């Protein structure tokens, strides 16, 4: 999200732009492309369910991707050996330009560009031109400079049939990737050019901080913060790897995250001693596993922004006064959080939403005698099957608090009658629930399990330094 001095609208078109693949008749399933998704996404992940096996696995075609930079354009050359498959299709990201094909036939009538293999070896070359200036509209941020380029990892799926069995693979995840020059390849972002990778493992998570060479990043300070807030934020969804690309100018202020991929970029100059803490904000997004109904969509940004300030305070990066001033700042008192039509600005979740969560957190702490907090609600949301509705949210709040707060919540989420007013702090801001929440979390056996996986965290990821062999 764009934060700080420059601000822009949230990405409200996301859900609408998830493309339904117009399937080739013989193909049972293919996932929609992961349209570049800003940190405002409530879009379900499409990365985890690639396989469409209808029986025993067929022999896997060999796939390879080679990436090269030409001017401000990244060129991705994809080759697929069809391995005797009876039929094979390639689904290509609509946001890249196909400039060359070999051994494939383009099929018409598909919203996702679709190609059918006609030979044993197929090749598709796609390109993406990157801008020199930060974008001023919504959409994932990509940039080219003389020294480095941040580009996308394009959506690409290969589906094949052998003896009636259908399988799908993702060459950027399962294939061999080479690059002409040094590059760091994540799930969604590809940093092309000389770079540094700083890594730290804590609480079952490995944090990878990637920056173009010469960025002048205080990486240990960022990793210290991630290692610490990872433990403090006891809300579940501690996935094993988090990747953050730290970008120097001309990257704009702020950052953005791909929630399902636990991947983000952050402006490398973002201050750590700020309530408007972009480093923590984007990290909180990576802990958001929940899916939300429309009337709860505000919670995605509100919770990232609230916890960024809260954790910055608990980490000692900001004072209590700074924390209180930030989370109770005025604005948008007439907005109903659950009704976007009442919003005067896309900033409503960052201001009125944060205010609501700050007060709600205090209410839960007070109601529960300091034993529960908003963390518990967040965790229940993460663990919930299916979308979290507003009604379910109020149920989770009641469960955490031990008493019903829905009348108060209704005024802020549904009424839009001006009652969403600044929160008057009337006592010390404490954080007694953290240790208990962590204890509960560990006691449930989740944390030890995650810790046990720590050593495996970075292994299977397509990430790191690759050069042409
Ligand atoms: Zn955000």
Residues 195-239: pLDDT tens digits?
Answer: 999 999 999 999 999 999 999 999 999 999 999 999 999 999 888
- What is the whole-number distance in angstroms between the Cα of residue 40 and the centre of ligand 1? 6
- What is the whole-number distance in angstroms between the Cα of residue 279 and the centre of ligand 1? 10
Evaluate whether 30 touches 41 at the Cβ level (below 8 Å): no
Q: What percent of the chain has pLDDT over 70?
A: 77
- The Cα 346–Cα 85 span in angstroms is 49
- What is the whole-number distance in angstroms between the Cα of residue 278 and the centre of ligand 1? 8
- What is the whole-number distance in angstroms between the Cα of residue 256 and the centre of ligand 1? 6
- The Cα 169–Cα 165 span in angstroms is 13
Tell me the pLDDT of the chain averaged across its residues: 80
Predicted confidence band of residue 428 (pLDDT cuts 50, 70, 90): low
Predicted confidence band of residue 138 (pLDDT cuts 50, 70, 90): low
Distances from the Cα of 458 to the Cα of 59, 186, 192, 228, 265, angstroms: 27, 11, 20, 19, 18
Q: Which conformational region is residue 464 in: left (phi greater than 0), alpha (psi within -120 to 50 degrees), or beta? A: left
**Cis peptide bond prior to 250, omega within 30° of 0:** yes
Q: Please report the pLDDT score of residue 445 as a whole number.
A: 27
Say what the alpha-carbon torsion angle 98, 100, 102, 105 is, to the nearest 10 degrees. Answer: 40
Evaluate whether 262 touches 283 at the Cβ level (below 8 Å): no
What pLDDT digit, counting tens, does each position of 35-67 carry?
Answer: 332 332 222 223 322 233 333 445 788 999 999
Predicted confidence band of residue 307 (pLDDT cuts 50, 70, 90): very high
What pLDDT digit, counting tens, does each position of 277-293 carry?
Answer: 999 999 999 999 999 99
What pLDDT digit, counting tens, does each position of 15-41 carry?
Answer: 222 222 222 222 323 333 333 323 322
Predicted confidence band of residue 82 (pLDDT cuts 50, 70, 90): confident
Domains defined along the chain, listed by start:
14-181 (no CATH), 195-452 (1.10.390.10)
- What is the whole-number distance in angstroms between the Cα of residue 253 and the centre of ligand 1? 13
- What is the whole-number distance in angstroms between the Cα of residue 241 and the centre of ligand 1? 19
Pair type for strands 241-247 and 205-212? parallel
What pLDDT digit, counting tens, does each position of 361-415 carry?
Answer: 999 999 999 999 999 999 999 999 999 999 999 999 999 999 999 999 999 999 8
- The Cα 215–Cα 288 span in angstroms is 29
Evaluate whether 217 touches 100 at the Cβ level (below 8 Å): no
Q: Please report the pLDDT score of residue 92 as a whole number.
A: 95
- What is the whole-number distance in angstroms between the Cα of residue 426 and the centre of ligand 1? 29
- What is the whole-number distance in angstroms between the Cα of residue 65 and the centre of ligand 1? 31
- The Cα 357–Cα 365 span in angstroms is 12
Evaluate whether 168 touches 50 at the Cβ level (below 8 Å): yes
> Phi, psi (5° rounding) for residue 232?
-65, -35
**pLDDT higher at 150 or 55:** 150
- What is the whole-number distance in angstroms between the Cα of residue 47 and the centre of ligand 1? 21
What pLDDT digit, counting tens, does each position of 157-179 carry?
Answer: 999 999 889 999 999 988 889 99
Evaluate whether 190 touches 126 at the Cβ level (below 8 Å): no
């Amino acid at each position: 999200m764009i934060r700080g001095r420059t601000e822009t609208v949230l990405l409200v078109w996301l859900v609408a732009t998830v493309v339904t693949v117009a399937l080739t008749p013989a193909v049972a399933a293919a996932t929609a492309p992961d349209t570049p998704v800003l940190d405002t996404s409530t879009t379900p992940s499409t990365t985890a369910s690639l396989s469409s096996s209808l029986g025993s696995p067929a022999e896997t075609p060999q796939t390879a991707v080679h990436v090269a930079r030409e001017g401000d354009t990244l060129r991705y050359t994809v080759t697929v050996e069809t391995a005797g498959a009876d039929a094979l299709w390639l689904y290509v990201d609509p946001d890249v330009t196909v400039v060359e094909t070999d051994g494939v036939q383009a099929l018409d009538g598909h919203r996702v560009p679709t190609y059918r293999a006609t030979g044993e070896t197929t090749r598709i070359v796609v390109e993406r031109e990157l801008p020199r200036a930060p974008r001023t509209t919504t959409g994932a941020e990509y940039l080219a400079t003389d020294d480095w380029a941040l580009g996308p990892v394009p959506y690409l799926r290969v589906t094949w049939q052998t003896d009636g069995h259908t399988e799908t693979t993702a060459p950027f995840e399962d294939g061999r990737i080479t690059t002409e020059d040094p590059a760091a390849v994540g799930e969604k972002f590809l940093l092309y050019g000389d770079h540094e990778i700083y890594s730290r493992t804590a609480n079952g998570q490995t944090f990878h901080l990637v920056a173009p060479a010469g960025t002048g990043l205080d990486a240990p300070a960022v990793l210290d913060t991630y290692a610490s807030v990872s433990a403090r934020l006891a809300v579940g969804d501690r996935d094993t790897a988090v990747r953050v690309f730290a970008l120097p100018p001309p990257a704009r202020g702020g950052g953005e995250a791909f929630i399902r991929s636990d991947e983000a970029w952050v402006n490398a100059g973002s201050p750590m001693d700020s309530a408007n803490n972009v480093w923590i904000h984007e990290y909180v997004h990576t802990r958001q596993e929940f899916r939300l109904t429309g009337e709860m969509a505000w919670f995605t940004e509100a919770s990232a922004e609230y916890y960024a300030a809260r954790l910055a305070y608990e980490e000692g990066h900001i004072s209590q006064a700074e924390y209180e001033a930030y989370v109770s700042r005025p604005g948008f008192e007439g907005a109903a959080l659950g009704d976007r039509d009442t919003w005067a600005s896309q900033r409503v979740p960052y201001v009125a939403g944060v205010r609501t969560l700050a007060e709600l957190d205090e209410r839960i702490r007070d109601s529960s005698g300091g034993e529960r907090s908003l963390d518990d609600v967040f965790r229940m949301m993460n663990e919930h099957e299916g979308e979290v509705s507003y009604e379910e949210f109020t149920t989770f709040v009641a469960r955490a608090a031990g008493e019903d707060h829905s009348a108060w919540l209704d005024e802020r989420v549904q009424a839009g009658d001006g009652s969403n007013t600044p929160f008057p702090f009337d006592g010390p801001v404490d954080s007694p629930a953290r240790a208990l929440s962590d204890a509960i979390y560990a006691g449930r056996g989740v944390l030890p399990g995650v810790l046990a996986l720590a050593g495996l965290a970075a292994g299977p990821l397509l990430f790191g330094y690759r050069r042409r062999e």
